[in-house]
Structure 1
Amino acid sequence: MSLEKLYSQVVAISLAILLAASTAFAVEATGDGIDRQQALNSALRTAVEMQIGTAVASDSIVESGVLVRDEIASHSKGYVTSYKVLGEGPTADGYAITIDAVVDSELLYSDYTTLAILQKMSGLPRLLIFGSGAGFDSVPQESMKELVHAVSRTFSEKFQFEVLDWPMTRAKYSEIEGSMSLKKAAKFNRLLKADYVVTVELELPRDANPVMHMTCVRISDGLKIGEVRRPVEQYVSLSGKPAEVYRRAVEAAKPETYWASVRIARELLDNMESELDRGKGFRYSLTFLGFPELPSVCSVLEDIPGFVRKEIKRQKGMNMEVTYWSTLRAENLFKRISTALKDDGVEKFQSRMEGRSMKFRWQNPEGF
């Protein structure tokens, strides 16, 4: 099934569910556990599972052993906006509690749809994830390694993204010195081969809980795709040695990695979907230098599968710059163009791809 059809089907199902659901529902649920906290967590999960409903519960979307429904239920606390204890007390096996929980139905179904799409999609974008300590009250990048790893695991293990965890892999790219930044990611993307940058920042304001700040930027053109700010539930005292304060803050922020990642993942999907829905596909910049038969090149581009439309921005002599829209992902399109040029008789040319910018030069000139 094509990506466009998949999006259309999932969006249609999502809209039907959302129209049938109000924003929030009160659900009575009971939970058991060895202590009160475990029993409460069980009751919260039961409330969310009840709200997911039979339509969602019957969907057994599995990818790499991850069940979407279980993923939602295991993070049930984030979908319960409030709850009231109706009854509680010790039992022969531990503790039991009954609550009246208000579940954010719209958020739940929205997240379910996001996860379902992510689990089904193939060829997901490649993400470069690193810590950002730009703010005055932010945890330094070097102290953020553990939190960056947690975010990376969420994107890779839960959502099946291809992830480049910068703290873990920086030794592989000795050419890149110092701390990673968006500017460096764009400059060295010929090595990194990433589609998007995800930055993770942890702010430590005085007399307030830490705030997790995550952004997603498309490397090819610097477009900000999404941004999330989530307060950390646990207060972190700033007393003590800085290294110890930073360690406590990172540990407190780990539970927020899932929620921030879901929000960023949704922004990514919405951006990709909106491009396709507008009938433009993904936008690319193609440059052809020294090609003697530019009309032939134009014909080749229009015959490539996934072609939507093109605009010639500049053309002079044997050089041409084209804005090109395609439903193909960048790496696939790059290979398709190269193969199509060779099939058209262009045997000697050099090519280079940086994000969504692709350059092709006739034969083998120096300096390319």
Structure 2
Amino acid sequence: MSFVKLYSQVGAIAIAILLAASTAFAVEATGEGIDRNQALNSALRTAVEMQIGTAVASESLVESGVLVRDEIVSHSKGYVTSYKVLQEGATADGYVITIDAVVNSDLLYSDYTTLAILQKMSGLPRLLIFGSGAGFNSVPPQSMQELVHDVARTFGKKFQFEVIDWPMSRAKYAEIEGSMNLKKAVKFNSLLKADYLVTVDLKLPEHANPVMHMTCVRISDGLKIGEIRRPVEKYVSLSGKPADVYSRAVEAAKPETYWASVRLARELLENMESELDRGKGFRYTLTFLGFPELSHIGTALEDVPGFVRKEVKRQNGLNMEVAYWSTLRPENLLKRVSTALKDLGVEKFQSRINGRNVRFRWQNPEGF
């Protein structure tokens, strides 16, 4: 189920809950085209564009909604409840028509409110965004602050994520020295309190245009949520001082930043939506250390309430790592699995939870 499908399923509920009454406005709009149908569609798009400007003060829908203005306007017929033709006729270049269209502004808000519901149901996830600078042919992180900030602005303003823009926030976390990476994000996440990280890398291959490379990873278990590679249209010469080359590359990549961010944000939102789908569940990593009878534990996991599916990733002697999908939240899953272990007769074990990682160790070993 794609994120767009969420609108058809939740949109009506969102409107019913968050919007008290339907608000429709009549808008006079004119459209031109090579024939009547094209001219009418143009007039409908114009009417919706006009209503976006009047119904949404400070452009909150355009800046915060998951769909950008062009995509909203492309579905104009869905927002126009009725229209009356005021004037129409053929011209030397085609056809022109003027209509009086009734535009329902509540429907314009539905995409925005649905996104807000998804964010709230997912626990208002926090993103850590930084330049990775991976590889010898990449722009260094310190030279990509503008790009990182642009990416952070897209995720924050248009998709309503709470964003930790690392270049802007590093002074707050003086304990974290040097460049940010996944290992540090995991190590210091008690400070950062991030749910996902987004890396921004700008590669500079020889005799080819730069390539913007962005990835999104869930910090709790290291799962890669999405990855985008977007070629930069403008060629950048590698001749000259490195600082000048990096500056030219960043400037050339700016036009690609927005759309690369949008594509990656949608992948993340679709992942969040799929986890809220009760049939698919949340993905966890369950680790069992030092346990005998692992086969019995594997079978017992399938009887835990909320179980969707599982996949044994590693099993060696007394240790096992399982990718586990459940409709339960982390704390409830920990309790249910602990109960299942006790029902098997395993009384002495320790458990620890870190985001989506849930670990169990038998017989209270040292250093756990």
* Category of TM-score, reference length = shorter chain: 0.5 to 0.7
Q: Distance in 2 between matches of 1:282 and 1:217?
A: 15
CA distance in structure 1 between the aligned counterparts of 2:241 and 2:358, rounded to whole angstroms:
49
| TM-aligned CA distance change 1:167 to 1:138, over 3 Å | same
Equivalent position SS for 2:139: coil
The equivalent of 1:50 in structure 2 is 45
Distance 1:47 1:145, change over 3 A: farther
In the alignment, what sits opposite 1:327? 327
Residue-by-residue CA offset, 1:336-366 (whole Å, 9 max, x unaligned): 3456799999xx9865334522124589764
TM-score, scaled relative to structure 2: 0.56
| Cross-structure match for 1:120 | 117
Residue equivalent to 2:227: 226
Shift of 1:262: 0.9
Tell me what 1:33 maps to: none
Q: What SS class does the counterpart of residue 264 from structure 1 fall into?
A: helix
Partner of 1:282: 282
Ranges in structure 1 where 5+ consecutive residues have no aligned partner? 15-26, 30-45, 81-111
1:1-368 paired onto structure 2 within 5 Å: 9-10=6-7, 50=45, 66-68=60-62, 118-121=115-118, 122=120, 123-171=123-171, 173=173, 176-186=176-186, 189=189, 192-205=192-205, 210-219=210-219, 220-223=221-224, 225-232=226-233, 241-274=241-274, 279-287=279-287, 307-308=307-308, 323-328=323-328, 332-333=329-330, 335-337=331-333, 351-360=351-360, 366-368=366-368
Equivalent position SS for 1:154: helix
Identity of aligned residues (%): 58
Q: Shift of the alpha carbon at 1:314?
A: 7.3
Contact 2:225 2:271 in 1 (8 A): no
**1:189 Cα offset (Å):** 4.8
Aligned mates of 2:323, 2:68 — CA distance in 1: 45
RMSD, aligned α-carbons = 5.4
Correspondence for 1:21: none
- The whole-number CA distance in structure 2 between the counterparts of 1:65 and 1:303 is 47
Over 3 Å counting, the alpha-carbon distance change for 1:74 and 1:227 in structure 2 is closer
Aligned residue number for residue 85 of structure 1: none
Which amino acid letter does the alignment assign opposite residue 159 of structure 1?
F
Shift of 1:263: 0.2
Q: How big is the shift at 1:203?
A: 3.1
Task: Check the 8 A contact 2:334/2:358 in 1, yes or no.
Answer: no
Give the distance between the partners of 2:115 and 2:160, measured in 1 at CA: 7
**8 Å contact kept, 1:129–1:200:** yes
Taking structure 1 as reference, are residues 238 and 163 closer, same or farther at Cα in structure 2, changes over 3 Å only? same
The 3-state SS of whatever aligns with 2:144 is helix
Which whole-Å CA distance do the structure 2 matches of 1:210 and 1:5 have between them? 31
Rounded Cα–Cα distance in structure 1 between residues aligned with 2:351 and 2:175: 22
What amino acid does structure 2 have at the position aligned with 1:10?
Y
Structure-2 change in CA distance of 1:65 and 1:341 (3 Å): farther
Q: Give SS of 1:254's match.
A: helix
Q: 1:284 to 1:266 in 2, by over 3 A?
A: same
From the CA coordinates, give the structure whose radius of gyration is larger.
Answer: 2
Query: CA deviation digits over 1:94-150, x for unaligned, max 9?
Result: xxxxxxxxxxxxxxxxxx998775443222443222112234442111111222122
Which amino acid in the other structure matches residue 353 of structure 1? I
TM-score, normalised with respect to structure 1? 0.56
> Cα 1:12–1:228, aligned 2, differ >3 Å: closer, same or farther?
farther
How many aligned residue pairs are there?
295
Deviation at 1:214, TM superposition (A): 1.6
